[in-house]
Amino acid sequence: MPLTDTAVRNKKPGKKPSKLSDERGLFLIVTPAGGKWWRFRYSFGGKEKLLSLGTYPDISLAGARQRRDDARKLLAEGIDPGEQRKAAKAARAGLAANTFEVIGREWYAKTAPMLAENTKAKLLRFLEVDVFPWIGARPITSLAAADLIKVIERIEQRGAMDIARRVHNYMGRIFRYAVGRGLATRDPSRDIELKDILPPENVQHHASVTDPKAVGGLLRAIDGFTGALGTRCALRLAALAFVRPGELRHAEWAEFDFEKTEWRIPAAKMKMKEQHIVPLSDQAVGILREIQPLTGNGRYVFPSERGGSRPMSENTINAALRRMGYAKDEMTGHGFRSMASTLLHELGLPHAAIERQLAHGERNKVSAAYNFAEHLPERRKMMQQWADYLDKLRAGAEVIPLHGQAA
- Planar angle of CA 73, 78, 79, nearest 5 degrees: 75
Every domain range in the chain assigned CATH 3.30.160.390: 5-89
For residue 404, what pLDDT is reported?
43
CA-to-CA distance for 134 and 139, rounded, in angstroms?
12
Every domain range in the chain assigned CATH 1.10.150.130: 100-197
Which stretches in the chain have pLDDT values below 50?
203, 363-373, 403-407
In single-letter form, the type of residue at position 19 comes to K
For residue 223, what pLDDT is reported?
94
The 10 Å Cβ neighbour count of residue 378 is 18
Mean pLDDT of the chain: 87
For residue 371, what pLDDT is reported?
46
CA-to-CA distance for 305 and 311, rounded, in angstroms?
9
CA-to-CA distance for 346 and 210, rounded, in angstroms?
10
Residues labelled catalytic = 244, 271, 334, 337, 360, 370
End-to-end CA distance of the chain: 106
For residue 369, what pLDDT is reported?
44
Under CATH, which architecture does the 5-89 domain have? 2-Layer Sandwich (3.30)
Every domain range in the chain assigned CATH 1.10.443.10: 212-395
pLDDT digits (tens, 9 = 90+) for 85-121: 877 776 666 656 789 999 999 999 998 887 777 778 8
Q: Which CATH code fits 100-197?
A: 1.10.150.130
For residue 397, what pLDDT is reported?
66
Write the secondary structure of the chain as one string of H (helix), E (strand) and C (coil).
CCCCHHHHHHCCCCCCCEEEECCCCEEEEECCCCCEEEEEEEEECCEEEEEEEEEECCCCHHHHHHHHHHHHHHHHCCCCHHHHHHHHHHHHHHHHHCEHHHHHHHHHHHHHHHCCHHHHHHHHHHHHHHHHHHHCCCEHHHCCHHHHHHHHHHHHCCCCHHHHHHHHHHHHHHHHHHHHCCCCCCCHHHHCCHHHHCCCCCCCCCCCCCCHHHHHHHHHHHHCCCCCHHHHHHHHHHHHHCCCHHHHHCCEHHHEECCCCEEEECHHHCCCCCCEEEECCHHHHHHHHHHHHHHCCCCECCEECCEEEEECCCCHHHHHHHHCCCCCCCCCCCHHHHHHHHHHHHCCCCHHHHHHHCCCCCCCHHHHHHHHHHHHHHHHHHHHHHHHHHHHHHHCCCCCCCCCCCC
CATH topology of domain 212-395: hpI Integrase; Chain A (1.10.443)
For residue 202, what pLDDT is reported?
56
Pairing, β 307-311 against β 303-304: antiparallel
CA-to-CA distance for 368 and 274, rounded, in angstroms?
10
